[in-house]
Amino acid sequence: MTRIDAKFAELKAVGKKAFVSYIMAGDPDYDTSLEVVKGLPGAGVDIIELGLPFTDPMADGPTIQLAGQRALESGMTLERTLQLATEFREEDDTTPIVLMGYYNPIYNHGVDQFLTDAKAAGIDGLIVVDLPPEEDEELCIPAQAAGLNFIRLATPTTDDKRLPKVMQNTSGFVYYVSITGITGAAEAQAVDVAPEVARIQAASNLPVIVGFGINTPEKSKAIAKVADGAVVGSAIVSKIASGTPVPEVLDFVRGLADGAHQG
pLDDT tens by residue, 8-44? 999 999 999 999 999 999 999 999 999 999 999 999 9
Helix runs in 14-145, H state only: 30-39, 62-73, 78-89, 103-109, 111-121, 140-145
- This prediction has a pTM of 0.95
Q: Does residue 28 have a cis bond before it (omega within 30 degrees)?
A: yes
- The DSSP secondary-structure symbol of 35 reads H
Ranges 29-33, 54-58, 253-257: which has the least confidence: 54-58
pLDDT tens by residue, 175-227? 999 876 555 555 667 778 899 999 999 999 999 999 988 999 999 999 999 99
pLDDT reported for residue 13: 97
pLDDT reported for residue 184: 53
Average pLDDT score over residue span 140-154? 97
Give the whole-angstrom CA distance, residue 233 versus residue 223. Answer: 14
pLDDT reading at 45 higher than 60: yes
Half-sphere exposure for 234 (CA within 13 Å, toward CB): 20
When divided into structural domains, the chain yields a total of: 1
Boundaries of domain holding 247: 3-261
Task: List residues with catalytic annotation.
Answer: 49, 60
pLDDT reported for residue 92: 98
CATH of the domain at 11: 3.20.20.70
Averaged pLDDT of the chain: 94
